[in-house]
A and B are shown apart, each in its own frame.
Chain A
Amino acid sequence: MMLGAYLAYSLIGRFGAGPLGYWGGVLLAALAVGALGVLLERTLLRRLYGAPELLQLIATFGVVLLIKDAALAVWGAEDLLGPRAPGLGGAIAIFGQPVPQYDLLLIVLAPIVLAAMWVALSRTRWGLLVRAATEDREMTAALGVNPSWLFSGVFFVGALLAGLAGALQLPREPANLNMDLTIIADVFVVTVVGGLGSIRGAFVAALIIGIVRALCIGIGDVALFGSVVSFAKLTLVAEFVVMAVVLVARPWGLYGQPPGPSAIAEQRDLQVPPGRRFAIAAALLMAALAAAPLLVDEYALVLGADMLIFALFAVSLHFIMGPGGMASFGHAAYFGLGAYAAALATRSMPMELALIVAPLAAGIGALVFGWFCVRLSGVYLAMLTLAFAQITWATVYQWDALTGGSNGLVGVWPAVWLSSRVAYYWLTLAIAGGAIALLWRVVFAPFGYALRAVRDSPQRAAAIGIDVRAVRWAGFVLAGLAAGLAGSLYAFSKGSISPDSLSIPRSIDALVMVLLGGLQTLFGPVVGAALLAWLQDTLARHTEYWRAMLGAAILVLVLLFPQGIVGALGAAARALRQRGIGKRAAAA
C-alpha cells in the first residue's frame, strides 16, 4: 500500500497530471504492486508454506522492513503529497457542509470494489477453489487443481488492491514511511473483528470502526468527573477498543466460525527435561558472563545488559508461546508496565524495593488481560493481546499527568551502590539469569507439564481433571511477571522510559527473538534475543539502511532455519549422533 502511494506519485509525476496520466498512473501503480506481490510470493513466501503461520508473519515483517528502506532510498524521507485528481478538485455541498468531490468518488468506489471481491469469491469457480484450498490445500491439489497458481492469484489481487488503496489515498494523505505498520495493524484488526475468512464480517467491521472513530472526533473534548477527556485523541485506540469488546463477547469475531478440529495433527517434538550437561553449560555461561566486565569496555557492557534484559523478556514470551501454546502479539504491554511502574515507584520508595514492586504491577496487568485472553485461542488470542497492549500504550501516551505522555519519564536511576556500569551489569546478570533459570524450572515442574498438557490436547487435559483456563491463566500471569521484571531492569538501565517500550515494534521484537531462536527449544529465545539485540546495535551504527539489513537478515534466518537457530543446531547434533551410532554399529 505504501508502495502504491509512492509509485503513483512517481508515475503521475512522469505522465503528467492530466486525466489520462493521473488515472493511468494510479492503475499502473496498482498493477505494479500486484506484480511485486506475486514476485514476492513465488520467490519467497511459497518456501514458507510448510512453516508455522507465525514464521510467515515474521517473514512478512522482514519484507516490510526491506520495502520501507527501499522507499527511503528511492523517494527520500520527506512526506510526498500527490497532485489532486483532475476534474475532482472541487467540493459539493451536502447538508450545508462542503464535501470534497474526491472523497465522494472514494465513497462510491469502495463498495464497488468490495462487491466485486465478494462476487469473485462467492460466485465464481475461482473463488470456490480459493476457499477450498484455504481449507485443505492437499486435498484440493488431489482434485487436480494447481494450488500454487491459485495462491499466486490471491496474492496478486491482494497486493493490487492494496496498491490501489495506496495510490487513491495519495491526494488526501501524503505518502510517508510510517504508512506500513499502522496500515498492517488496521488490516489485521478489521479481519479479526469481522471473523477470519468472512468478507461480510470485514466490511461490517471496517464500518463499525470507521463510525466509532468519527464519533470520537465528533465528540471532541468532554468534561468528565471534573477532568477533561479528549475523545479526539482516543481515535488512536478506537479500533483496538472495538476489537477487545468484540473478541470478549464473540471469541471468533462478528461472523467467524469456531475453527473445527484440525484435520492435520500438529507435529510435536518430545521435550525432555534438560540433563546435567545443560546445567553445566548454563553455569559455565553464567560464569563467563560474570567475568565479562574484566575483559570488555563499558559500551559492550551496556549492550550486554540489554541482551540479558531482552533474553529474560524473550524467555517470558517463550514460556506462554512454547509450553503454553498461546502466541502473544502484545507482550510489550507487560514489559512496559513493569518499566513505568518502576519509574513511578522509585519516586516514593528505594530503588531496590521498586524493583520488586514493579513486576507485580505487570503481573496485575497480566491477571486482568489474561482473564479475557485465555478464553480465546490461536490468532484471535494473539490479536486480543495486541489490543490490550495498544490500549495500555494509548493510556500511557495520553495520560500526561502521570506518565509524561510522549516524552516519558526521566531520572529513573538505580541506587548509588548500583550506579556504576559494572555493578548494574552484574545486577542485571544475577536477576535476569536467576529469573530465566526459575522459569525453566517451572517448565519441567508439574505446572509446566500441566501447561503443555493443555496445549497438546485441551480436551484430554480437561478429561483428566485439569482446569484448562485456570492453568493457562496462571501461565499468562507468570509470563507477565517475568516480562515486567525485564521492563523494570530496562528502565533503571536507561535512566528514562518512553511509550516506545510498550509499542507494537517492541512486541514484534520479542516475537522475532523467540522464533529466530526456535520455539521448540529451551535455549532458543536466549540466543534469539542476544542475536537481535546485537544485530540492531551493530547495523544501526554502521549503516543508514539498518532496517533493510535487519529485514534481510531475518528473511535469511527464517529461510535457512525454519525451526529457529537452536532448533536447527539441535537437529544437526541429533543427526551427527545418529550417524555415530550407525558407524559404531557397522564396526561391531
Chain B
Amino acid sequence: MTQPLLAIRGIAKAFGGVQALAGVSFDVGAGERVAVIGPNGAGKTTLFNVLDGQLAPDRGSAVLAGRALIGLSSQAIARLGVGRTFQVTATFASMTVRENVQVALLAQRGQTYALLSPLRARLADEAQSLLKQVGIDSLSERAAATLAYGDLKRLELAVALAGTPRLLLMDEPTAGLAPPERARLMRQVSDLARLAGSAVLFTEHDMDVVFAHADRIVVLNRGRVIAIGAPSAVRANPEVRNVYLGSGRDPEARDA
C-alpha cells in the first residue's frame, strides 16, 4: 500500500478514569474492507465516533487522503466523503423512504437552505435510483418509521451512499438481523462498495460475516490493537482466541 486512504495514528480517548482508546493506529486502503472486532467495551464505537467527528480524541491523528479529520465537525467530515451507518438505526422517521435519501442528496450538494421551492421533485430520480441499488425502490413512498428492520438497514445504506463516499463507516451493520439476512445484506454492501470504489470500515459481532467479508481484520481489546491482519491469521492468533473468540470454540461451529 503506497498511500493509504485513511491513516489512523495513536488515537487515545479517556472517559473519566476509563481509557476507552489507548493509542490506536492502523491504515485503510482505498476500496479495502476492514473489520474492527473485539469484546464489548473494547472501544469500537468510540473509535467510530472519533473518526466521524462526534468525539474529540485526547491524542492522535486521522488523515483521509491527505486531509486531517481530527478537529473537523461531523458535517465537514461528511462532505469530505465519509458516509456512516449507526448501530441503532437512525433515520428520519417523519419522512418517507425517498425523502430520507433526498435530504441526504440535498445536504451533499449544499442545497439545505433553499427556502421556498418544494422538495417534492428535487433529485427524486437520483434518490429513486439509489433505492433501487439497495433493493427497496418499491417502498419509496412508505413512512421510514414503518419499515421492517432489514429494510431500515438498507435505507441507512442508501442514505450513506448518497454522498458517494470514499469511506463508509458501518457500526454493526447486521445487528438485529437473522443470520441469512445478515449474509445477504453484507454481500450487498460489498458489491455496492466495490461498484462505488468506497472503502468500508465496519464493526461486527457475527464472525461468519467478518470472515466472509473483510479483507483485513483489526482486533481491539481495552482500547488497544492486539492483532491486525488477514482473517486466517487473526483467527489463529492465540491472544484473540483468548480474549474474544473464546478458547476451544470454533466460531464457525456455533449453530451446530
Question: Is any CB of A less than 8 Å from a CB of B in the complex?
Answer: yes
Q: Are B75 and A466 in contact (CB under 8 A)?
A: yes
Decide: A462 and B74 in contact? CB cutoff 8 A: yes
Within the complex, the shortest CB–CB distance from B48 to chain A, in Å, comes to 11
**Do A446 and B112 touch (CB < 8 A)?**
yes
Contact A447 B114 (CB under 8 A): yes
Q: Which residues of A contact B53 (CB under 8 A)?
A: 462
Is A460 touching B145 in the complex (CB atoms < 8 A)? no
Q: In the complex where A446-B106, A464-B78 touch, is A456 in contact with B54 (Cβ < 8 A)?
A: no
Whether the pair B90, A460 counts as a contact (CB closer than 8 A) is yes
Docked pose: A222 CA to B54 CA in angstroms? 47
A267 / chain B contacts, CB cutoff of 8 Å: 145
**Which of B33-41, B91-99, B130-138, B224-232 lies at the binding interface?**
B91-99
B119 lies within 8 A of chain A by Cβ: yes
Query: Is B143 positioned at the interface, with any CB of A under 8 Å from its CB?
Result: yes
Interface size, B (range)? 35 or more
Complexed CA–CA distance, A461 and B54 (Å): 12
Are A464 and B159 closer than 8 Å at their CB atoms? yes
B106 and A270 within 8 A (CB): no
Q: Mark B97-118, 1 if CB is under 8 A from A, else 0.
A: 0010011101110011111111
Contacts of A467 in B (CB 8 A): 73, 75, 112
B249 at the interface (CB under 8 A from A): no
CB distance from B119 to the nearest CB of A (A): 5
The reply to whether the CB of B205 lies closer than 8 angstroms to some CB of chain A is no
Enumerate 20 A-B pairs (CB-CB under 8 Å) in ascending A order.
A445-B117, A446-B106, A446-B117, A446-B122, A449-B95, A449-B102, A452-B95, A453-B95, A462-B74, A463-B78, A463-B160, A464-B107, A464-B159, A464-B163, A465-B79, A465-B104, A465-B163, A466-B75, A466-B103, A466-B107
Instruction: Say yes or no for A471: interface residue by CB 8 A criterion.
Output: yes
Q: A449-B103, A456-B93 are in contact. Are A441 and B86 (CB under 8 A)?
A: no
The interface of chain B, by Cβ under 8 A from chain A, is 52-54, 73-75, 78-79, 83-84, 86, 88, 90-96, 99, 102-104, 106-108, 111-120, 122, 143, 145, 159-160, 162-163
Q: CB distance B90 to A457 under 8 Å?
A: yes
B75, B120, B143: which has the most chain A beta carbons within 10 Å? Answer: B75
CB < 8 Å neighbour of A447 from B78, B91, B99, B112: B112
Q: How far is the CB of B96 from chain A (nearest CB, A)?
A: 7
Interface centre among B112, B143, B162 (most CB of A within 10 A): B112
Our pick among A270, A461, A465 for the contact of B94 (Cβ within 8 Å) is A270
The distance in angstroms between the C-alpha atoms of A301 and B88, with both chains bound, is 54
**With known contacts A449-B102, A449-B106, A466–B94 Cβ distance under 8 A:** no
Q: Are B115 and A462 in contact, CB atoms less than 8 angstroms apart?
A: no
Q: Is A217 an interface residue (CB 8 A)?
A: no
Bin the interface of chain A by size. 35 or more
User: A268 at interface (Cβ–Cβ under 8 A)?
Assistant: yes
Known: A445-B118, A446-B112. Is A462-B75 also a contact (CB below 8 A)?
yes
Which residue of B has the minimal Cβ distance to A467? B75
Cα distance A462–B112 when bound, in Å? 12
- Which of A444, A457, A462 sits near B119, CB closer than 8 Å? A444
Contact, CB under 8 Å: B119 / A446: yes
Q: How far is the CA of A449 from the CA of B84 in the complex (A)?
A: 20
Question: In the complex, what residues of B have CB within 8 A of residue A270's CB?
Answer: 94-96, 143, 145
Complex interface bits, A255-271 against B, C-beta within 8 A gives 1, otherwise 0: 00000010001111111
Interchain CB contact (< 8 A) of A446 among B79, B96, B113? B113
Q: Would you call A459 an interface residue if the criterion is a C-beta within 8 Å of the partner chain's C-beta atoms?
A: yes
Chain B contacts for A246, CB-based, 8 A: none
CB distance from B118 to the nearest CB of A (A): 5
CB distance from B102 to the nearest CB of A (A): 7
Nearest CB on A from B248, distance (A): 36
Residues of B within 8 A of A445 (CB): 114-119
Taking CB atoms and an 8 Å cut-off, the chain A residues in 426-485 that contact chain B are 438, 441-442, 444-450, 452-453, 455-457, 459-468, 471, 474
Set of chain A residues within 8 Å of B112, measured between Cβ atoms? 446-447, 450, 466-467, 471
A441 close to B94 (CB less than 8 A): no
Question: B107 contacts which chain A residues (CB < 8 A)?
Answer: 450, 453, 461, 464-466
Tell me which residues across on chain B come within 8 A of A269, comparing CB atoms.
Answer: 94, 143
Bound form: Cα–Cα A464–B119 in Å: 17
Chain A residues closer than 8 Å to B103, beta-carbon distance: 446, 449-450, 453, 464, 466
A465-B75 contact given A449-B106, A452-B95, A460-B159, CB 8 Å threshold: yes
B91 CB contacts on chain A under 8 angstroms: 456-457, 460
Q: Is the CB of A456 within 8 A of B95?
A: yes
A111, CB-defined interface residue at 8 Å: no
> CB within 8 A of B54: which of A261, A273, A453, A462?
A462
Expressed in whole angstroms, the minimum distance between the Cβ of A477 and any Cβ of chain B is 12
Given contacts A449-B106, A463-B84, A465-B78, contact A457 B115 (CB under 8 A): no
Tell me whether A450 and B106 are in contact in the complex, defined as CB-CB below 8 angstroms, given that A270-B94, A270-B143, A462-B75 are known contacts: yes
CB distance from A366 to the nearest CB of B (A): 16
CB atoms of B86 and A273 under 8 A apart: no
A441 touches B78 (CB 8 A): no
Which of B83, B88, B145 interacts with A268 by CB under 8 Å?
B145
CB interface residues, A 222-247, toward B, < 8 Å = none
The 6 closest A-B pairs by CB, nearest first: A462-B74, A270-B143, A268-B93, A465-B78, A460-B90, A456-B92
**Contact residues in B for A268 (Cβ distance below 8 Å):** 93-94, 145
How distant is B73 from chain A, measured CB to nearest CB, in Å? 7
> Whose C-beta in chain B lies nearest to the C-beta of A465?
B78
- Min distance, Cβ A267 to any Cβ of chain B, angstroms: 8
Count chain B CB atoms within 10 A of each CB in A261, A457, A465 and give the residue with the most: A465
Q: Inside 8 A of B93's CB, which chain A residues have their CB? A: 265-266, 268, 456-457
Across the interface, name the chain A residue whose C-beta is closest to B52: A463
Specify which of A447, A453, A468 is in contact with B92 (CB 8 Å cutoff): A453
Point out the residues of chain A lying under 8 angstroms from B114, CB to CB.
445-447
Other A-B contacts than A267-B145, A447-B115, 6 sampled, CB-CB below 8 A, are A273-B118, A438-B116, A457-B93, A464-B104, A464-B108, A464-B163
* A267 to B146 alpha-carbon distance, docked (Å): 11
